[in-house]
Amino acid sequence: MWRLQVCDWRPHTGTRASPRTTGWLSTSPRASTGSLVAVKYSEQIVFVQHVDICLKAGDTMDDAEMHRRIVGYGVRVLGVSFRTEAPDSPVLRSLDNDGFFARKLRDTARLVLHVHVRRSQGGIWAPDEHGNIDAFLSGVGARVHETCMIAHELGHAVLEIERRRTGTADEFGDHLEGIGKRLGEEKPITVAEANAFYGEEKAAWEHGARLLDERGFTRWFRFGQVCEKSLATYERAIQSCCVGWRAPPLNDFLDPLVARDPPSVA
Ligand SMILES: [Zn+2]
């Protein structure tokens, strides 16, 4: 028997509440996919971040469920707030285009973890004033596309949370912001700056893929398309400011993922 312990983990502050036992499993949690695969910290005791996600082999889920899971993970585990932005919103100023991760507020510079996503209707928050995410989940158009974009923006949040823990977030954030500003003004950047800027984007996609994989995502062909298109936008913008710079190939990252999503049999 495996004792199942649940414990709220707040990565942005590095604190965890005392684990509480919620039940027993007859099989090893390692047999499950999803975030239930966790750190075993003493014999037959596992630590799990949360237990609402437990997929067994062969389970399927629809796209709406996957969308709910990635948003729910962002809110509950990473402490991220989401907001929809209408197409004319000035907030959507990043090259990500359909999404934007904000590490601080524009007017007050207060540190936040906000993910903004493009929708037809702006101003819908998750969590809302009652702590719910349902209103945010309901208004989505291209659900798989948004799921991939949200995972990518959460990848930015994961990188930011890691840097806040090590005390380097402000320095690195300012560095990237400076490079982004010069890209926007089409001023030259160095190869080192090009690599730093593109590397952050690629790393955010890699974290995003991991977060999706841990929650049972299967639409990897679509993920590959969204990721490639987004990174190509960065590649073009960087190349016009850094003569001769080439983006590293994505094959090692994307090929194994896309190979897991073969065309469905009719
Ligand atoms: Zn990005």
- What averages of pLDDT result for each successive group of 10 residues across the chain (266 residues)? 48 50 50 37 42 41 91 96 93 83 93 96 95 93 94 98 96 96 95 97 98 94 95 95 95 94 65
Q: How far apart (Å, rounded) are the C-alpha atoms in residues 24 and 73?
A: 23
Q: How far apart (Å, rounded) are the C-alpha atoms in residues 101 and 197?
A: 14
**pLDDT attached to residue 29:** 46
Asked if residues 79 and 10 have their Cβ atoms less than 8 Å apart, the reply is yes
Asked if residues 212 and 265 have their Cβ atoms less than 8 Å apart, the reply is no
**pLDDT attached to residue 92:** 83
Residue whose token pair is 């960065």: 234
**pLDDT attached to residue 62:** 86
**pLDDT attached to residue 97:** 80
- Closest Cα partner for 140 from 124, 156, 157? 124
CA of 230 to the centre of ligand 1 (A): 8
CA of 193 to the centre of ligand 1 (A): 16
CA of 208 to the centre of ligand 1 (A): 10
CA of 28 to the centre of ligand 1 (A): 36
Asked if residues 51 and 69 have their Cβ atoms less than 8 Å apart, the reply is no
CA of 197 to the centre of ligand 1 (A): 10
**pLDDT attached to residue 24:** 53
Integer CA distances (angstroms), 6 to 58, 63, 131, 154, 264, in order:
25, 27, 21, 23, 37
Q: For 47-60, give one letter per residue: b (16+ CB within 10 A) or e.
A: bbbbbebbbeeeee
CA of 131 to the centre of ligand 1 (A): 26
**pLDDT attached to residue 261:** 87
**pLDDT attached to residue 16:** 52
- Which residues touch 149 (CB under 8 Å, ≥6 apart)? 96, 98, 99, 117, 226, 230
**pLDDT attached to residue 236:** 94
**pLDDT attached to residue 93:** 74
Q: How far apart (Å, rounded) are the C-alpha atoms in residues 27 and 181?
A: 53
pLDDT tens digit sequence for 106-159:
889 999 999 999 999 999 999 999 999 999 999 898 999 999 999 999 999 999
Reported pTM:
0.78
Q: How far apart (Å, rounded) are the C-alpha atoms in residues 75 and 49?
A: 13
